[in-house]
Amino acid sequence: MKKIAILSGDGVGPEVAAEALKVLQAVDKKYGIGFEFKHELIGACAIDATGDPLPPATVERCQRSDAVLLGAVGHPRFDNDPAAKVRPEQGLLKIRKTLGLYANIRPIKSYKSLYKASPLKESLIANVDFVVFRELTGGIYFGEKGRRCGGSEAFDVCAYSVEEVERIARLAFAAAQNRRKHLTLVDKANVLETSRLWREIAGKTSKDFPDVKFDSMFVDNAAMKIVQQPAFFDVILTENMFGDILTDEASAITGSIGVLPSASVGSGVALFEPIHGSFPEGAGKGIANPMAAILSAAMMLDYLGCPEAAQEVQAAVELALKNGVATPEISKDSAVSTGEVGDFIAGNI
């Protein structure tokens, strides 16, 4: 039996999570995994219900589960209020920290049926297939922050320890060994001391992976390279904030942010979520693409030791794309609804 905590969250989160669930149920029928799904609150909906973006019941449930599937977190109601005391995103950051999810793995893959939707020329986007290892529980996101000088100055500290860098570097190098054996460290070592530590530790770690070609690149240059020659990359290793920014950029070049999944792993239970946000304007309209959530479920199947089922889900998503069974941002003239995309994919398991 596998216990799965479902944190649907806000905006389109519940809609896309429902489709991922549908597909997991189809997988369960075929493979007899014996899933037990339990729903808990996170984000704006949790604030509304309990005042807390990450209620203790959610944390406890996640800690007792084999994996966590998350929809999306966030609501504009909080974005436009700089004085808000609680924010939905605090729930997301806290669950990452509490579960020790230090590595966020974001595969960036171009699909043939999406080449036309890409803002890049087909010759540039064809065959792009890389993965970003973004550090997720350190850096400027979690450093000391506050106001000083009577509130007229604000600060956010970026700090990293050797251990924090080394553990994700090892994961990323090991992943590169199973791919095209090329790892690029993205940093700002010409300016930042933390980046110089990343360079030192990644360089040392690379000695244990002699078959992996190791290079490093400044983040501004990497931002350019992602649009000029994305096929250059195989594995990108980077710190928290650079990873946040670069993965949004990288997702945009594939043609739809609605097809990109992610896995966050650490020492214990792992969490799987689409890269996209809560897309509140799209909520309740049946227009959100559930593919990223479904592919996140596929990554979860892989993690739970069911690689065959994972591949089958991946293939069913690709079949949907090939047949144009997709939401409006992909299938402009013949779009189907969120639920119909899920039905098609589940039906092909």
**Residues assigned a catalytic role:** 141, 188, 220, 244, 248
- Can you tell me which of 92, 172, 250, 316 binds ligand IPM, judged by CB under 6 A? 92
Pick the stretch among 51-59, 89-97, 296-304, 316-324 that binds ligand IPM (CB under 6 A): 89-97
Choose among Mg ion, ligand IPM, none what residue 74 binds, the Cβ cut-off being 5 to 8 Å by kind: ligand IPM
Judged by CB under 5 A, does residue 244 bind Mg ion?
yes
Size of the site for ligand IPM (CB under 6 A): 5
Cα Rg of the chain (Å, integer): 20
Judged by CB under 6 A, does residue 89 bind ligand IPM?
yes
> In this structure, are residues 316 and 345 in contact, taking their beta carbons and an 8 Å threshold?
yes
Choose among ligand IPM, Mg ion, none what residue 249 binds, the Cβ cut-off being 5 to 8 Å by kind: none
Residues 47/87/136/132 CA torsion (nearest 10 deg): 100
The rounded distance, in Å, linking the Cα atoms of 141 and 138 is 6
Q: What residue type is 31 in one-letter code?
A: Y
The rounded distance, in Å, linking the Cα atoms of 339 and 345 is 10
Nearer to ligand IPM by Cβ, of 141 and 214: the residue is 141
The rounded distance, in Å, linking the Cα atoms of 155 and 150 is 13
Query: Would you report the helix, strand and coil content of the chain in percent, each value rounded to 5?
Result: 50, 20, 35
Residue written as tokens 């990359």? 233
Q: State the minimum distance, in angstroms, from the CB of residue 243 to Mg ion.
A: 8
Q: Which of residues 11-70 bind Mg ion (CB under 5 A)?
A: none
Q: State the minimum distance, in angstroms, from the CB of residue 247 to ligand IPM.
A: 6
Nearer to ligand IPM by Cβ, of 113 and 137: the residue is 137
| Chain mean position to CA 182 | 21
In terms of Cα–Cα distance, which of 191, 100, 173, 170 is closest to 142?
A: 100
For residue 272, CA distances in Å to 71, 140, 188, 276 come to 9, 23, 29, 12
Q: Which of residues 121-180 bind Mg ion (CB under 5 A)?
A: none
Residue window 47-76: x/- pattern of binding to ligand IPM, with contact defined by CB under 6 A: ---------------------------x--
Q: State the minimum distance, in angstroms, from the CB of residue 93 to ligand IPM.
A: 6
Nearer to ligand IPM by Cβ, of 90 and 216: the residue is 90
Nearer to ligand IPM by Cβ, of 9 and 113: the residue is 9
Q: State the minimum distance, in angstroms, from the CB of residue 36 to ligand IPM.
A: 26
Q: Where are the alpha helices (DSSP H) in the chain?
A: 13-31, 44-50, 56-63, 76-79, 88-98, 122-125, 162-177, 193-206, 219-228, 240-253, 291-303, 307-322, 338-347
Judged by CB under 5 A, does residue 318 bind Mg ion?
no
The rounded distance, in Å, linking the Cα atoms of 244 and 225 is 16
Q: Which of residues 237-256 bind ligand IPM (CB under 6 A)?
A: 244
Pick the stretch among 51-59, 212-220, 238-246, 305-313 that binds Mg ion (CB under 5 A): 238-246
Q: What residue type is 4 in one-letter code?
A: I
Judged by CB under 6 A, does residue 271 bind ligand IPM?
no
**Which residue is nearest to Mg ion, using beta carbons?**
244
Structure-token pair, residue 338: 């969120």
Pick the stretch among 19-27, 87-95, 177-185, 208-216 that binds ligand IPM (CB under 6 A): 87-95
- Residues near ligand IPM (CB under 6 A) are 74, 89, 92-93, 244
Residues that bind Mg ion (CB under 5 A): 244
